[in-house]
Amino acid sequence: MNIVSDLAEGRRILAEAIGAAKRLVLFTGAGVSTESGIPDFRSPGGLWSRMRPITFQDFVASEAARLEDWRRRFHLMAEFEAAIPNAGHRAMARLVGSGKAIALITQNIDGLHERSGVPEDRLIRLHGTGTHASCLDCHERMEIAEAEAAIAATGQSPRCPACGGLIKCAVVSFGQAMPEAEMTRAEAASRAADLFVAAGSSLQVHPAAGLPVAARRAGARLLIVNRDETALDSLADRVLRGPIGRLFDPSDDAGRDGAP
Ligand SMILES: [Zn+2]
């Protein structure tokens, strides 16, 4: 195992590896966004440790569960809108924009990669997005604000104007199937990578955590960038411990140091 905790050394290793890569794939989790003030839902004290998650089955079966899910979504949407992409998001957007990174795979639902300028065709969202909603039957899109207005007006969870189906925030809920097309794209990108950089993920949630393993097996170098230990540290070529924004962007020394 090869753990580097020194910031300057970590920056040097990351910059050199990225410089040498021909097909970089970036993979991100909650740790990238905690540096923008968005809490990690799964961490101790995070949303899911304080409230029982509403499963997909609950949502479909119960109007009360739907209204509670929406109440939480509106709260989260306000947090997402108040947050600003940080140095890590911006550095990754530059790597995608320059063509260096062939894909950015994310577990995050906060929309910060989109807002930092990563184009849709290079962004693979494994857990959907919390920034809009869609119909469970015909996939018609609805904005979160529109859903909020509908509930305020009727007291009932919103229905699809096109087909009458249930509208749900476009995240992948507990108990809901992973998006097949996104998983297929993510697996293909991971196998094509010559460098796979996993940042801000504890790499414990499957099947997402299988992607770095697939990349490594297909011959990619694996770098893990995270504040804390991850489940795959022993598999990585190098493990860089530290604040993600500052490791990706040496000019970010004036930036915030992230949550403790
Ligand atoms: Zn519909």
Task: Give the pLDDT score at 251.
Answer: 83
Task: Give the pLDDT score at 252.
Answer: 73
Residue ranges of domains in the chain, CATH in brackets: 1-38+85-127+178-249 (3.40.50.1220), 40-82+128-171 (3.30.1600.10)
Catalytic-role residue among 89, 113, 127, 132: 127
Task: Give the pLDDT score at 206.
Answer: 84
How far is the centre of ligand 1, averaged over its atoms, from the C-alpha of 161 (Å)? 7
Task: Give the pLDDT score at 52.
Answer: 83
Task: Give the pLDDT score at 250.
Answer: 82
How far is the centre of ligand 1, averaged over its atoms, from the C-alpha of 178 (Å)? 20
| Residue 169 counted as an annotated binding residue | no
Helices (H) and strands (E) in the chain, counts: 11, 10
Residue 127 annotated in active site: yes
Dihedral class, residue 125 (left if φ above 0, else alpha if ψ from -120 to 50, else beta):
beta
| Residue 163 counted as an annotated binding residue | yes
Task: Give the pLDDT score at 256.
Answer: 47
Task: Give the pLDDT score at 60.
Answer: 98
How far is the centre of ligand 1, averaged over its atoms, from the C-alpha of 69 (Å)? 19
Q: Tokens in use for 183?
A: 């998983």
Interval 125-157: pLDDT, tens: 999 999 999 999 999 999 999 999 999 999 999
* Whole-Å CA distances, 121 to 98, 117, 183: 14, 12, 14
Task: Give the pLDDT score at 40.
Answer: 77
Closest CA relative to residue 216, chosen from 235, 200, 203: 235
Distance CA 42, CA 45 (A): 8
CB 197 within 8 A of CB 100: no
Task: Give the pLDDT score at 183.
Answer: 96
User: Which residues, given as ranges, of the chain have pLDDT below 50?
Assistant: 255-260
Give helix 180-192 / helix 210-217 axis angle, nearest 10°: 30
CB 36 within 8 A of CB 83: yes
pTM for the predicted model, two decimal places? 0.92
